[in-house]
Amino acid sequence: MLRPGAVSRASGGVLVAAAVLTATLGVASPALANDGNCGPGDLCLFEGNNMSGGRWDLGSSDSDYASGDKWWGTTISINDQASSGQSKYSFWDAYLYEHSYYRGSWLRILPGEKVYYFSDYGFNNKASSNDY
């Protein structure tokens, strides 16, 4: 039996491996993470209402959409252009912010929630950054 706060040798190795993997991979860059699939763990934004039009997905925070984030398969910036979205993250709420670097008004999307009309929340074409 382990003392509270103790780590067994076996689980310690797993913790070290996870730390090395995290340090090696770092945070995914928006250009690599946006694969257009909107898979588990992603925040998914859509250019049109009701999850239509251009799509963008990312499994981490992004401090500035104007720094190169594009609708998947296009050269069109997503900055201030999203009208609907969903969070496929399992545990934490996703927050969209009006301005870069998590500033200004925000829209919270709960885990698994779909928001078909950002305009219902006064947030149509306003998203410029996101955080989990």
Against a cut of 0.85, is the pTM above it? no
Domain that holds residue 78: 28-131
Which residue, 80, 87, 81, 79, is CA-closest to 58?
A: 87
Mean pLDDT for 19-31 is: 40
pLDDT at position 103 is: 98
Q: Strand 103-109 vs strand 43-48: parallel, antiparallel, or unpaired?
A: unpaired
In a domain, 5, yes or no: no
pLDDT of residue 23: 39
CATH number at residue 108: 2.60.20.10
For position 27, what pLDDT does the model report?
Answer: 42
Answer yes or no: is 118 within a domain.
yes
Q: 14-28, 41-55, 63-77, 95-109 — which is least confidently predicted?
A: 14-28
Establish if 17 belongs to a structural domain. no
pLDDT tens for residues 70-123?
A: 999 999 999 999 999 999 988 889 999 999 999 999 999 999 999 999 999 999
Our count of domains for the chain comes to: 1
Of 75, 77, 67, 65, which Cα lies nearest the Cα of 127?
65
Task: Give a yes or no: residue 96 inside a domain.
Answer: yes
For residue 64, name the pLDDT band (cuts at 50, 70, 90): very high
Percent of the chain with pLDDT over 90: 68
* pLDDT value of residue 33: 72
Q: Residue 2 falls within a domain, yes or no?
A: no
Q: Is residue 69 part of a domain?
A: yes
1 falls within a domain: no
Evaluate the CA torsion angle 27, 131, 114, 66 in order and state its sign.
negative
Chain centre distance of CA 116: 17
Asked if residue 98 belongs to a domain, the reply is yes
Can you give the pLDDT at residue 42? Answer: 94
